[in-house]
Homo-oligomer: A and B are copies of this chain.
Amino acid sequence: MTTKNQAENTCPAEGLLKTLSGKWKPQIFRFAVNGPIRFNTLLREIEGANKQSLATALKELESEGILHKVIISEKPLHIEYNLSERGQSLVPIFQQLEGIVK
C-alpha cells in the first residue's frame, strides 16, 4: 500500500517512547541498569523526586515489562525492581541516544 493509511497504524515505537520519557523514568532506568533498585534508595538518590511520582513511574515501567518487581523475603523484608529482558534490550538504545546527545 501507499502512504495512504500510515496514519492508522500508529507508530509502533510510540508507546515505548512514551513509557520511557515520563518524568524520572530515564533516571530510574539508569539506576536499574546497574543492578536491582529499591524504592527508598531511588527516593534518596534522585533529587526532586517524590513518593507518588516514583510509585507511578515504577508501576508503569513494570506494567510495560521493563522492570520486574520482586519481593525479597530475607531479613529485613523488602522489594527489589530489576531490569527484565525487555528492559535489558533497551540498554543499547539508551547508549545510542546518549551518543547522539553528546
Q: Using CB atoms and an 8 Å cutoff, list the residues of chain A in contact with chain B.
A: 3-4, 6-18, 20-21, 26-27, 29-31, 34, 45-48, 86, 89-90, 92-94, 96-98, 100-102
Q: Are B92 and A96 in contact (CB under 8 A)?
A: yes
Q: Are B94 and A47 in contact (CB under 8 A)?
A: no
Q: State how many copies of this chain the complex holds.
A: 2
Chain B residues with CB under 8 A of A47: 4, 6-9
User: Mind listing 5 A-B residue pairs with CB under 8 Å?
Assistant: A4-B45, A12-B101, A12-B102, A16-B100, A93-B93
Chain B residues with CB under 8 A of A16: 97, 100-101
Q: Are B7 and A45 in contact (CB under 8 A)?
A: yes
Q: 3 closest A-B pairs (Cβ-Cβ)?
A: A11-B26, A13-B97, A21-B21
With A17-B20, A100-B16, A100-B89 as known contacts, state yes or no: A11 contacts B34, CB within 8 Å.
Answer: no
Q: Which residue of B lies closest to A28 (CB)?
A: B11
Query: Which of A6, A13, A31, A86 has the most chain B CB atoms closer than 10 A to its own CB?
Result: A13
